[in-house]
Structure 1
Amino acid sequence: MTTFVLATHNAHKVEELRRILGERLGPHELVGYDGPEPVEDGDTFEANALIKARAAYAHTGLPSIADDSGIAVAALGGAPGIHSARYAGTREDVDNYTLLLANLEGETDRAAEFVCVAALVDGDRELTVRGVWPGAVLEAPAGAHGFGYDPVFRPDGIATSSAELTPDEKNAISHRSRAFGGLVVQLRELYG
């Protein structure tokens, strides 16, 4: 059995990752991360995910799993992108999506995608897997589940916001589920 560190201080993300990875990882153990937060100064989701996983590995010596994720809006040239969590400057979800809605006011092209890059660093290798969840930005928030931009994101093929999906419904199809599902395939090959 291998112990993997979930390299995040975001309690919502830890809960979601434990649900997504749970049975898929088999007998391996997932533990939280209590070390210092690194500066996420990469210019891609991949770079930032690796920065976090490297920091957790350096702090714990254990194989570390991290992700970087955000929303990329076509009409805004892919913004907020890697700056999604700090878009409004407050790190508050409601401030971020309120600014996004203001920046899209009057815009008819509301196409967007949630992007997640999952990363593993274990001292011998560094892996990344990208997951994308296409959809559109709603004109007003709806729903009480999830976090981040969930209240203003409507996934393609679904009539509601991702915040109106149950956690299990969201975790079965989200960008994070897609990225970590791909990472789990590689983890099984490497760790059994």
Structure 2
Amino acid sequence: MSAAPPEAPPGQRPRPASLSDLFFSFSWLALQGFGGVLAVVQHELVERKRWMTREEFVEDWAVAQILPGPNVVNLAIMIGARYFGWRGAVAGVAGMLLFPLVLVIGLGLAYTNFGSDPHVAGALRGMGAVAAGLITATGLKLASALRKHPLGLPLAVAIAVACFVAIALLQLPLLYVLVGLGSLACALTYRKLGERGA
């Protein structure tokens, strides 16, 4: 596990140099995101570019997940808008969608011709294991951000475990878990922040 990047004050932190930098950065992220974009996005934005801290990434990713639409597109909108307003949001989304759209259309045409080949089908099934490994590794890496959560590590871990049990073991619908545990976590965090401010 790599060490967390040194945190700089927000005013001195690296940031996208321009709209084109934002566009091509998200294009590069999208083109690397085969089988699980979360690991790639976290590595690029937090560890390599250092546009965000791990804690900021966890918070923004949580918001991106509860919004309608693809998580990473929501994150691109949030980051683009943070640095360049609506133009940044458009550049981030365009970067996430333009080149991958062209690539997916090409792959779709190729799959139409070769999808019935057992070698192709086996290769695609094998990528499922890689995607699961990437998501698990990223989740473990981001778990260190829970140490700084207002609820404290034990309660934050308990909510995370409850979420895992509800979705993976009990197979409850994601919407119910999100509304139930999400609301509980928000209420507890709000209360804890209020106690700190008092």
TM over 0.5, shorter chain: no
TM-score normalised by the chain length of structure 2: 0.28
Q: Whose RCO is larger (CA < 8 A, sep 6+)? A: 2
Structure with higher Rg: it is 2
Q: By percentage of residues, which structure has more strand?
A: 1
Q: By percentage of residues, which structure has more helix?
A: 2
